[in-house]
Structure 1
């Protein structure tokens, strides 16, 4: 009984930690300009370029698609990619 309780506790910890981690990421498909500017290295003009690209081309399918946005080079994409996600809905 104690063994099952311990396993359940450990499992719930890992699940809650992974959900919290995903919640900390900024979704390229729903983020506002202000939310995008919370990313290190993204100012108003870059945030606006991301939103304009999204409006013109539809939702991002992958975070790597961000490289198509003017002002986002390979180095900036690499720096930002861990803090971003894309919703599939």
Structure 2
């Protein structure tokens, strides 16, 4: 069974990039190798993997990636730090902004 990963990398400028792949190690290496000068991470190397979540279904992985890309930095840091329980409260706080 094929596996898919939603991942978050921390860039050298302390920003986060979220992506999806079926080969996590190769994808992180591609980010660090700087193969695409037009990519977000090209000028923000080196990058470091700080989170990944595994899926068996590509559609679920893509849906989760899209969801995470729309999240605040605080929500991303909550899952990076394995504090999933903070997500509902962080969602409420964001709605007040």
Q: What TM-score bracket applies, with the shorter chain setting the length?
A: under 0.3
Say which structure is richer in helix: 1
Structure index of larger Rg: 1
TM-score normalised by length of structure 2: 0.24
Say which structure is richer in strand: 2
